[in-house]
Amino acid sequence: MAETSLTHRSAADLADLLRRGETSSVEVTQAHLDRTAEVDPAVHAYLHVNAEEALATAADVDARRAAGEDLHELAGVPIAVKDVVVTKGQVTTAGSKILEGWIPPYDATLVRHLRASGMPILGKTNLDEFAMGSSTEHSAYGPTRNPWDLERIPGGSGGGSAAAVAAHLAPLAIGTDTGGSIRQPAAVTGTVGVKPTYGGVSRYGLIALASSLDQAGPVSRTVLDSALLHEVIGVHDPLDSTSLTDPAGGLVDAARAGDLAGMRIGVVRELGGEGYQPGVRASFDHAVDLLRGAGADVVEVSCPSFDYALAAYYLILPAEASSNLAKFDGMRFGLRVEPEEGPVTAETVMAATRGAGFGDEVKRRIILGTHALSAGYYDAYYGSAQKVRTLIQRDFAAAFELADVLVSPTAPTTAFRFGEKVDDPLAMYLNDVATIPANLAGVPGLSLPSGLSDDGLPVGFQVLAPAREDARLYRVGGVLERLLTDERGGPILDRAPDLEVKA
Amino acid sequence: MSQPHDVTSPSVQDYEDAVRRYDPVLGIEVHVELGTASKMFDGAPQTFGAEPNTAVTPVSLGLPGALPVVNAAAVEYAIRIGLALNCEIAETCRFARKNYFYPDVPKNFQTSQYDEPIAFDGHLDVELEDGEIFRVEIERAHMEEDAGKNTHVGGSGRIHGAEYSLVDYNRAGIPLVEIVTKPIVGARERAPEVARAYVSALRDIFRSLGVSEARMERGNVRADVNVSLRDSADAAFGTRTETKNVNSFRSIERAVRHEISRQAGVLDAGGSITQETRHWHEDTGVTSPGRVKSDAEDYRYFPEPDLVPLAPSREWVEQIRAGLPELPSVRRRRLQAEWELSDAEMRDLVNAGATELVEATVAAGATPAAARKWWMGELARTAKSDGVALEDLPVRPEHIAELQSLVDDGRLNDKLARQALAGVLAGEGSPEEVVTARGLEIVSDDGALEAAVDEAIAANPDVVEKIRGGKVQAAGALVGAVMKATRGQADAGKVREIIFSRVEG
Amino acid sequence: MSTISSDEVARVAALARIALNQDEIERLAGELDVIANAVARVGEVATPDVPATSHPLPLANVMRPDEVTETLDVHEVMASAPQAEDGMFAVPQILGEDA
């Protein structure tokens, strides 16, 4: 049926159809809204759907196109946005009760770029509360389910965006990645996700988790689609002091390049081996073989400090987050709760509000972070973690002398079942062991599906590049994707179970 | 003696007694609001008296997702201040977060500078009223942002006993520079004076640098004073208290004086000083303990991750240094030489707050001596009786110059000039306008004067006899009579001339 | 290295203005202790000769000109306020009984 096929097209294809007048943005947008109404009750990728606003944008783009206006390449292609990015006039919750019903009075810079490009915003997607998590089980509004198996997690913190794209509820989505929150959900849902070089995409309007680690990035079903979206949002922003003045370019060209031109590919010894499922490792090894066959020079590299990356991350992130989340206190916006007993003062209302409004994982990290920054603990904890960061950057620099890109499995396992790790924080943290080093060093990373594991679930292949060399991700990713798709005989998501509700 | 607010301390000791037996050590923290157009980290405007919460962006309101960007002018102003205080300007410095929860701090942390201030290790030579110079060592000057404003509703209107508060964030994010002294030692019994003179000198510097209007009564300049006592200049520092709410130069001096006496009283009675923040009460002249903080100030400082380091190039710093205006102390020495004043005369001028006024009057055409005479004489008396500062009198330096030129031209004498001045002060216009309106000009018409002289001579024949008999001084009575008849508007010298010519003739 | 006791959790929760009941304090203490011990290993490689990196990429001197930009509409600002009065945010009394 025409409508079904609109939701099963890539963004690049949709853009093509729109340009040639073979469909309209209203049709495309409506098709996604219809499928969302049908399928999302089971998946719960979206926290809020904005049908009215999305269709209004779509109609406006159609009218402008009809009037002969010059439009952006992706104009009229709808997109979903992770609910940690502020959207003016639209509820933004960060997956938390403390922001239930909050309507921001301003747009994030990247949202302004989406609007300026004429992309209808379908709605806001689910996430672990304040982006803290690897399974979306910590959302205060209920989990999102993996379209491959509704009893399994879709990854986190950006499980909603990945599931939306995997379930064909949106062709594109925006995610944010602090320790793997774009890449790891991509891996376990068979989609593509990219964390740009730190500073490549503006953080103005991202509800901050860890300021020195956060980056927003594209979520899609194909490498080219991510490149197209990355170029829309990868622009310098004077409102963000950490924004690069020279963000990466040539991404779409790189995605289309089609060959590896003798690139050197470094397999990172520390990101593999024990703790990684055999099926994951097998899928990874096969992908590396394909790249070798395509002319890549494969070498092994060692980055010993990566063994300390998880520890450093779980010190830096809670410390910065404890400060970033202090503003949620019930005084100016969001939830306000008064204590049931005792005096009602600003202090007690703040404490009662935060006690009621924050979930367990958020409380854990705030307390850990506050402790780590406390007088007497700073040097041993936060100060030391910042030193590990230096070591990790040095290891990356040394590795990139030997290789143009580094590769690893994106995550140690495929999608696990709900409840399996949620009561064991450390076990949960281990999901990010391969993705965290890139955030600490600020280098860009991409995950694309390398195939299915022996349990029938998707496996992710991670590519890392030096800072500002995001184009290399797309070059390698584009080639690998084609090789795998050719070998498989079709896109990996074709193997995912059917989610339509049977009449 | 007034009742002390702090019921745990003994009665306040005599000040002189206190400084005889203890050596006071001070520390002064001054915050100055920089007069930039926009705020420290965003483009919200600096306003005065605007409707609440109308001068905020997501950044100054601390909304989720907002990010700071440093105001270049604020950095330049901070460097100007550092240079004027003889500080080193950091080659590289960073901002840091000072984390604490308070409703007027929208992010519940203040973006400030911690161990990397933009300026450090300076000094200011402060001149006291009698000319003695005291060097205050400066630890650092750093940049930070101001908080919003709480208005307490209900209760007594101050924090204690308030029912709730209303918060306005218009002030949140305004650029501040905080200047911290090293311990001020060796001032002994002059400590209160030194404190006052230091803050006053800073105020003059801020104004001359053009970085702030620097009005203490507007809150542009705020001072907190730390005081501790030790047994002698060789002893270790004692426990210090920090006194806030000192809102004028006079308060600073009084607060330091009181705190020295109070602490001496506590120590003499065998007690010990509690390290605490105290609140100065201008009306009763005492300090009282502030709220005891339970967090013991664990601010959990860490480098601000949303901002990148500042590394002011040496070229930029030298450019700023070259563009610095003449500093007040240098300017005072130059003016003293130009006006040929003694040290004491110059000091009197400075202490009266008349320096700029005299300078402007001279620029408008008067001689330094004439300008001084007016500002330090009649105007100073008027200011004192009206209870205002010299600069707040409703008369401009140009008026004074004009007034003096009327006297120099012979159109007014001193008495008439004072009457004209009164008219100007009353808002009747410029001196020229007042003279015309009130008809104050000296009578120059010889005929009228001669007529008046003749009348006086006719009325006082005995005086004329005395003059003819050689008693020239007796002419004074005739002059007086003529002056009275002309309501003082005769030129006394001319009247004398006419009298003598009549008498002799 | 250090342990995170229930007392420490209670102290830190107060500092971070998060109200916790006794059960939560104890549970958190157990969880955080495990995590703290895991992360303490950063001390093994964080020797004095290694400098700290606080920013992933070496930027410096990012500033903006002293220009006034658009401000937020006050009605939008106050619309989200849990409690407002006269265009200002109404907050509970800032001090309870004097400690």
Whether residues C99 and B292 touch (CB distance < 8 A) is answered with yes
Q: What six digits make up the tokens of B350?
A: 């400075």
Q: Which domain holds residue C22?
A: 1-46
One-letter identity of residue B380: A
Band of the pLDDT at B293, cuts 50, 70, 90? Answer: low
Q: Hey, is the C-beta of C75 within 8 angstroms of any chain B C-beta?
A: no
**Counting Cβ atoms within 10 Å, is residue B399 exposed (0-12), middle (13-18) or buried (19+)?**
buried
Percent with pLDDT over 90 in chain A: 92
CATH of residue A45: 3.90.1300.10
Distance from CA of B60 to the nearest CA of A (A): 12
Q: How confident is the model at residue A2 (pLDDT cuts 50, 70, 90)?
A: very low
pLDDT at B473: 85
DSSP B379: I
Tell me the pLDDT tens digit for each residue of C31-75: 888 888 888 888 899 999 999 988 888 899 999 999 999 999 999
Category of A248 on φ-ψ map: left (φ > 0), alpha (ψ -120 to 50) or beta: beta
Give this prediction's pTM: 0.87
CA angle B313, B316, B318 (to 5 degrees): 110
For residues B112 and B146, what is the distance between their CA atoms, to the nearest angstrom? 10
Residue A345 belongs to some domain of the structure = no
Question: Would C87 be classed as within a structural domain?
Answer: no
Which residues make Cβ contacts (< 8 Å) with residue B399, sequence separation at least 6? B424, B430, B431
Is the pLDDT score of C97 beyond 60?
no
- The number of CA neighbours under 13 Å toward the Cβ of B174 is 26
- Cβ B307–A108 below 8 Å, yes or no? no
User: Nearest chain C Cα to A467, which residue?
Assistant: C57
Q: How many CB pairs under 8 A join B and C?
A: 133
Residue A250 is assigned to a structural domain of this protein: yes
Any domain includes C21: yes
Q: Is the pLDDT of residue C3 over 80?
A: no
Q: Which residues of B336-374 are buried (b: 16+ CB within 10 A; e: fewer)?
A: beebebeeeebbbbbebbbbbbbbbbbebbbebebbbbb
Q: Is residue A267 part of a domain?
A: no
Summarised one tens digit per residue, pLDDT across range B151-194 is 988 865 555 555 899 999 999 999 999 999 999 999 999 999 99
- pLDDT category at A165 given cuts 50, 70, 90 is very high
Say if C28 falls within a structural domain. Answer: yes
* Cα of A205 to nearest chain B Cα, Å: 4
Q: Please check the confidence at residue B498 and state whether its pLDDT lies above 90.
A: no
CA distance A194 to A213: 14
A374 and B300 within 8 Å at the Cβ level: the answer is yes
Q: What percent of chain B has pLDDT over 90?
A: 67
Helix (H) / strand (E) element for B179: namely strand B175-181
Coil, helix or strand at residue A475: helix
A22-34 average pLDDT score: 98
Task: Decide if A124 is catalytic.
Answer: no
* Lookup result for tokens 């989609």: A191
**Residue C89 covered by a domain:** no
Residue range A217-254, pLDDT digits in tens: 999 999 999 999 999 999 999 999 999 998 889 999 99
- The answer for residues whose C-beta is within 8 angstroms of residue B333's C-beta and 6 or more apart is none
Interface membership of B42 toward C (CB under 8 Å): yes
Q: Which chains touch A (3 or more CB pairs under 8 A)?
A: B, C
- What pLDDT is attached to residue B94? 96
Chains contacting chain B through 3 or more C-beta pairs under 8 A = A, C
Does residue B164 belong to the interface with chain C, where contact is any CB pair within 8 Å?
yes
Q: Which residues in C lie closer than 8 A to residue B309 (C-beta atoms)? A: 55, 60-61
Q: pLDDT per residue over B40-73, tens digit each?
A: 999 999 998 899 999 999 999 999 999 999 999 9
What pLDDT does B328 receive?
85
Give me the CATH number covering residue C2.
1.10.20
Q: State how far the Cα of A77 lies from the Cα of A170, in Å rounded to an integer.
A: 9
- Report the alpha-carbon angle A25-A26-A28, nearest 5: 60
Rounded to a whole number, what is the distance in angstroms from the first to the last CA of chain A? 16
Please indicate, yes or no, if residue A368 is contained in any of the structural domains. no
Q: What gap in Å lies between CA A282 and CA C44, rounded to an integer?
A: 33
**Per-residue 3-state assignment (H helix, E strand, C coil) for A441-461:** HCCCEEEEEEEECCCCCEEEE
Residues of chain B with C-beta less than 8 angstroms from the C-beta of A241 = 67-70, 306-308
Least confident of A297-311, B7-21, B96-110, C20-34: B7-21
Task: Give the tens place of pLDDT for each residue, A306-317.
Answer: 999 999 999 999
Q: Which residues, other chains included, contact B68 with Cβ-Cβ below 8 Å and sequence gap of 6+?
A: A241, B40, B41, B42, B59, B111, B304, B306, B307
Catalytic residue among A25, A134, A139, A181: A181
Are the Cβ atoms of C88 and B54 closer than 8 angstroms? Answer: no
Handedness of CA B485, B488, B490, B493 (dihedral sign): positive
Tell me, yes or no, whether C32 lies in a domain: yes
CB < 8 Å to C18, chain A: 351, 354-355, 358, 363, 366-367
C-beta atoms of B69 and A86 within 8 A: no
pLDDT of residue B292: 62
Tell whether C53 lies on the interface with B, counting CB pairs under 8 A. Answer: no
Q: Flag whether residue B107 sits within 8 Å of chain A, measured between CB atoms.
A: yes
Least confident of A277-286, A458-467, B388-397: B388-397
In eight-state DSSP terms, residue B445 is: -
CA distance to partner chain B, nearest, from residue C19 (Å): 14
A181 is catalytic: yes
Full domain range(s) for residue A114: 2-259+446-495
B47 inside 8 A of chain C by CB: no
User: Which candidate in A24, A117, A139, A157 is catalytic?
Assistant: A157
- Angle at which helices B249-268 and B191-209 cross, to 10°: 150
Residue B64 to residue A99, Cβ atoms within 8 A: yes
Structure-token match 């290399």, residue found:
A472
Question: Cα(A465)–Cα(A405) distance, rounded to whole angstroms?
Answer: 5
DSSP annotation string for A168-209? TS-SEEEEEESSSTTHHHHHHHT-EEEEPPTTSS--TTB--S
Residue A501 has pLDDT above 70, yes or no: no
The reported pLDDT for the residue numbered C34 is 82
Q: Which residues pair with A458 in a beta bridge?
A: A452
Q: Is A157 known to be catalytic?
A: yes
Burial of B159 (0-12, 13-18, 19+ CB in 10 A): middle
Contact B101 C92 (CB under 8 A): no
Give the separation between CA A265 and CA A463, rounded to whole angstroms. Answer: 9
Instruction: Point out the catalytic residue in the list A10, A24, A25, A82.
Output: A82
* Residue corresponding to tokens 């063994």: A307
Q: Tell me what percent of the residues of chain C surpass a pLDDT of 90.
A: 63
The gap from C-alpha B27 to its chain's centroid, in whole angstroms, comes to 20
Question: What structural domains does chain B harbor?
Answer: 15-297 (no CATH), 326-438 (no CATH), 446-504 (1.10.10)
Structural domain includes residue A338: no
Mean pLDDT value of segment B251-275: 93
Cα B361–Cα B363–Cα B368 angle in degrees, nearest 5? 60
Residue C56 lies in a domain: no
B103 in contact with A, Cβ within 8 Å: yes
Q: What average pLDDT is seen over chain A?
A: 95
Does A323 sit within 8 Å of B58, measured CB to CB?
A: no
The total number of structural domains in chain C stands at 1
For residue C98, name the pLDDT band (cuts at 50, 70, 90).
very low
pLDDT for B160? 58
B494: helix, coil or strand?
helix
CB atoms within 10 A of CB A402: 13
Report how many domains make up chain A: 1
In this structure, what are the phi and psi dihedrals at residue A198, rounded to the nearest 5 degrees? -55, 125
